[in-house]
Amino acid sequence: MGITTANDLLSHFPRTYNDRSDVTPVRDVALGEVNTIRGTISRIFNRKTKSGKFMTMATLTDDTGTINVVWFNQPYIRRVLYNGNQVIMTGKVKMGFGKITMQSPAFELQKEEQIHSERIVPVYHETEGIKSKWIREKIKPLIDEWTKYYKDYLPENVRERNGFLSLSQAIKHIHFPENEELLNKARERLGFDELFLLQLRALQKKWEWQQVARHEKIAIPQNIEAVKKFIHTLPFELTDAQKKTLYSILKDMEKPYPMSRLVQGDVGSGKTIVAVAAMLNAVKAGFQCAVMAPTEILAKQHYTSIYSFLSSYGFNIQFISGSTTQKQKEQCVRQMKSGTIDIVIGTHALIQEKIGFKNLGLAVVDEQHRFGVKQRSVLKSFGSPHLLSLSATPIPRTLAMTLYGDQDISIIDEMPKGRQEIITRLIPEKKRIDAYRWIEDQIKKGRQVFVICPLIDESDTLGVKSVKQEYAHLKEHIFPHHEIGLLHGKLKSKEKNKIMEDFADNKIHILVSTSVVEVGIDVPNATIMLIEGAERFGLSQLHQFRGRVGRGKHQSYCFLFTGNQSPEASQRLQSMVTYSSGFKLAEIDLTLRGPGEIYGVRQSGIPDLKLASLTDSVTIEKARQEAQTILEEDATLKQYPRLQQKIAELDDVYVKD
């Protein structure tokens, strides 16, 4: 269970609680409900049934009456309980053996302070051989003694300002609360601590990075005329949200310390063009730029679009990835180090050994949540460039403040003019043939189709479609007269690129793929997104798939097929039909599935939160304000040695990527 010290044990917080504080007199027990009774055992014995099973039977008496008690197949109870024992029992009261009977109750001998009954009782995460009762018995003796040694790291003025319990009191009442009010106060204090420490660590790292880099000559002046001229040459008009974000980026890049900014925007909101304008500004000032994307498909897409936007400027723009030949890679690296390359676009290959830059001024990381903490930090190390992160996976602002608290955040929450809303439908199985006929008609009109499946190979156990299985089925039985392509992660880079080129050129009408198309595919003629096993994807991921269509002038559609008919799955998928905003869907997804599944929380260096919620905007805001106040007063935390030590402990545990 990962518990090796007494401190670990006290930090193993309950997952829930049973309120056993109300004791019911025997005469008032409620039939069919769980009751807690305090009384004396007046008779107890084991009895064997005809089938050879054991029953332990007893009678429990208090001042108001007597009730029968029975346990099944637990003969050891007779060795634990005796006539005359004063006990507290908690269990369901039913009719049994012709009498009102308490069946298989939990029990505890009466003592000065009860652990398992007559109180709010903690219930813990368990494992084989280690149950909540055992854990309670080990934690209770520690509480009074061990919590004396808990040195509170939260500054006293922060505690007083927020009315928080002390750390030792919070630990005591999270395990054995005297009442519900104290339990809530313990949760409030310990939940705040989790968010506060994360915010403090992130903000301090941002400050440290800025201090280290202050000696670097990285201030990039704004070339307003060049940027304006570039914007005027675009075949579309920037939205107000894009202009505001670009202005924030250019202002940040003027500062004598490196920018660290996250730009969030829904699929198709135009994040890339904002980054291109920022790169133009940097290159015009004599700096190099690097763009890193998580997949070769996305990196290639960026190379193509960036090159087309900036081709008239005569910049040296190059591409590097794992599939680049050794000779090309060596040539590219030489130019990067000599400064003759202005912009380089690539995958993880950009942060491998022997890579270097002469004068890197701006590093752009796309879909930054796909990279780990250390991977992102390598780019920062090339002369402390300005760092611009892009994400088309919308994250509620308060969550982004926690996950990426060391970055400033810009949100492009406005879609470009003329961008159509994609019609989304949850298709019942009985309508599948109708959907295929409709798709056939659309293909005849010249449109193209994505078909997404959760798996590469067929699985007997999961009961969901694989791309290979679906590819063969569609090719042979459904669309035999159309060109169908197959795309998945196990294909070689050359094969993937060829398939994508053919799809872009409309040589392939239907592309059957796994989630590799989640980001980076831009085929304006593709207007239909059909998703098999939709219930196996999160809402944010489904929204990403949907964003692959609707990029041209024709009306686009997203069809969701599901093998799971449960009300929960239908309700969740119905959100896709109802909402077109990725930010709204992200909030729903976060509530339903939690951040770890959606955003790869561990990869971001964020610990699993035991008590705090990443949807609790009020506490997140409060924690950030308190962290900022402390760091404005003392950024190195020298005045707060316990807090300094606690932050160091966090670093030891969580920044292991």
Mean of the pLDDT values across residues 605-632? 81
Q: What angle do CA 216, 219, 221 make, to 5 degrees?
A: 160
Give the range among 64-68, 174-178, 425-429, 589-593 with minimum mean pLDDT. 589-593
Residue 460: which pLDDT band, with cuts at 50, 70 and 90? very low
Question: Is residue 655 very low, low, confident or very high in pLDDT (cuts 50, 70, 90)?
Answer: very low
pLDDT of 518 > 70? The answer is: no
Q: Is the pLDDT of residue 606 over 80?
A: no
Q: What is the per-residue pLDDT for 519? A: 55
Phi, psi at residue 466, to the nearest 5°? Answer: -105, 160
Single-letter code of the amino acid located at 336: M
Range with the lowest mean pLDDT among 66-75, 209-218, 473-482, 614-623?
Answer: 209-218
Q: What is the pLDDT of residue 657?
A: 39
Under a CB-based contact definition with an 8 Å cutoff, are residues 314 and 341 in contact? no
The values of phi and psi at residue 20, to 5°, are -115, 25
Residue type, 154: L
Kind of pairing between the strands at 557-560 and 423-426: parallel
Query: Can you give the pLDDT at residue 547?
Result: 84
Q: Are 415 and 580 in contact (CB under 8 A)?
A: no
Q: What is the rounded average pLDDT of the residues 60-85?
A: 92
Which of 51-65, 375-389, 414-428, 558-572 ranks highest by mean pLDDT?
51-65
**What's the whole-number mean pLDDT along residues 184-205?**
91
Is residue 286 over pLDDT 90?
A: yes
Return d(Cα 278, Cα 274) in angstroms, integer: 6
**144-148, 195-199, 458-462, 485-489: range with lowest mean pLDDT:** 458-462
Cα Rg of the chain (Å, integer): 31
Nearest to 336 by CA among 322, 318, 353: 318
476 and 442 Cβ atoms separated by less than 8 Å: no
**How far is C-alpha 607 from the chain's CA centre?**
11
List 318's β-bridge partners, or say none.
Answer: 344
- Between 361 and 205, whose confidence is greater? 361
Q: Is the pLDDT of residue 544 over 50?
A: yes
pLDDT-based confidence at residue 288 (cuts at 50, 70, 90): very high
Whole-number pLDDT of residue 528: 93
- pLDDT score at 451: 92
Contacts of 393 (CB under 8 A, 6+ apart): 367, 369, 540, 544, 582, 586, 598, 599
For 209-230, write each residue's pLDDT tens digit.
777 665 566 789 999 999 999 9
**DSSP state at residue 429:** G
Which stretch of 29-38, 149-158, 172-181, 401-410 has the lowest confidence by average pLDDT?
401-410
User: Higher pLDDT residue, 483 or 267?
Assistant: 483
Q: Which one has a higher pLDDT value, 175 or 149?
A: 175
Over 60: is that where the pLDDT of 336 sits? yes
Q: Where do we find the tokens 């002390």?
A: 166
CB neighbour list of residue 394: distance below 8 Å, 6 or more residues apart: 264, 265, 266, 540, 543, 581, 582, 583, 585, 586
- Residue 188 pLDDT > 70, yes or no? yes
- The predicted model scores a pTM of 0.66
How many CB atoms are closer than 10 A to CB 256? Answer: 12
Q: Which run of H or of E encompasses 40?
A: strand 34-48
The structure tokens listed for 536 are 């196996």
Asked if residue 53 has pLDDT above 80, the reply is: yes
Domains of the chain plus CATH, in order, are: 22-118 (2.40.50.140), 220-254+270-391 (3.40.50.300), 423-579 (3.40.50.300)
Query: Using 50, 70 and 90 to split pLDDT, how confident is the model at 322?
Result: confident
Q: Percent of the chain scored above 70 by pLDDT?
A: 89
The answer to whether 42 and 56 are in contact (CB under 8 A) is no
Q: What is the DSSP string of 237-261?
A: PPPHHHHHHHHHHHHHHTSSS--EE
Per-residue pLDDT, averaged over 56-62, amounts to 93
How crowded is residue 236: how many other Cβ atoms within 10 Å of its Cβ?
Answer: 11
**Distance between CA atoms of residues 591 and 619, nearest Å:** 16
| Contact by Cβ (8 Å): 355, 333 | yes
Number of H helices, E strands in the chain: 22, 20
- Predicted pLDDT of residue 558: 94
Q: Over 50: is that where the pLDDT of 604 sits?
A: no
- Residue 390: pLDDT over 70: yes
For residues 401 and 536, the answer to whether their CB atoms sit within 8 Å is no
Residues in CB range of 641: below 8 A, 6 or more apart: none
**DSSP-derived 3-state class of residue 517:** helix
Task: Among 116-130, 165-179, 208-222, 558-572, name the most confident range.
Answer: 165-179
Quick one: which of 406, 102, 409, 444 has its CA closest to 263?
409
Give burial (CB, 10 Å; 0-12/13-18/19+) of 619: buried
Whole-number Å distance between alpha carbons of 331 and 333: 6
Classify 288 as helix, strand or coil.
strand
What is the pLDDT at residue 207?
83
pLDDT at 652: 63
Residue 463: strand, helix, or coil? coil
What's the gap between Cα 618 and its chain centre? Answer: 19
Residue 605 DSSP label: T
Q: How far apart are the first and last CA of the chain?
A: 21
d(CA 148, CA 143): 8
Does the pLDDT at position 38 exceed 60? yes
Nearest to 403 by CA among 582, 624, 614, 192: 614
Backbone angles phi, psi at 84, to 5 degrees: 95, -15
Confidence at residue 639, expressed as pLDDT on a 0 to 100 scale = 92
Residue identified by tokens 């509620």 is 396
- The amino acid that residue 548 corresponds to is R
